[in-house]
Amino acid sequence: MNAEHSSPDAATAVAALREELTELHQELVRYQLVVWTGGNVSGRVPGQDLFVIKPSGVPYERLTPQSMVICDLDGRVVDGGGLQPSSDTAAHAYVYRHMPEVNGVVHTHSTYACAWAARGEPVPCVLTAMADEFGAEIPVGPFAMIGDDSIGRGIVETLTGHRSPAVLMRNHGPFTIGASPRAAVKAAVMCEDVARSVHIAHQLGRPLPIDPQAVDRLHDRYRNVYGQPGTSAQ
């Protein structure tokens, strides 16, 4: 059955998510987190065992709401309009199956985050902006092949119980998760920003650590106080 016609509510949710993901993919380009056709954003369909993801190998400037591919939580295409989903689809599906609190997943090949991933080195929490957004270092996940759920397994294993919404998959690059697709994109933007700043700090000398209790306080303030009433840091 076509997911968009299974119920009026599902059709509305899928249509809205397709629109949102089309816009969010352009944010990856705007923040220079991707080149050519690499990278992807996906989002869980509210109230459905489905998610929507970028089609494989389609240039960002050609993405439209209709080109987004709908998959079930096993990564099988439900409605693709003749297009194949991202090569990372099985990884995204694994995350959604095992992390029910996650509603958005992003993968980029952003330069500085990939450089840390190539070294297999976590980005240490040495900036207040990192304490705010990540609440800890940005950890490194295991090396995993592309195309099956190996990357997804590494993401889940690394981020379960960790405050960071970002993981650097070794020799590959960053994956981020969020309570919404927009939150996951924000985490990807922030991941590259701090990866660049901390890299430069290393070139200048030894970055100064932040006391763990201060990290806790900064992270709590950002999550619960920062911004306007009724809004979220996400």
233: DSSP letter: -
Which residue among the candidates 94, 96, 132, 149 is catalytic per the annotation?
A: 132
Nearest alpha carbon to residue 12 among 53, 62, 47: 47
Half-sphere exposure of 219 (CA within 13 A, CB side): 19
226 annotated active-site: yes
132 annotated active-site: yes
Nearest alpha carbon to residue 178 among 194, 159, 195, 197: 159
- H-only helix segments in 54-149: 89-98, 111-119, 128-133
Which residue among the candidates 9, 49, 74, 226 is catalytic per the annotation?
A: 226
How far apart are alpha carbons 142 and 26 in whole angstroms? Answer: 29
Positions marked active-site: 132, 226
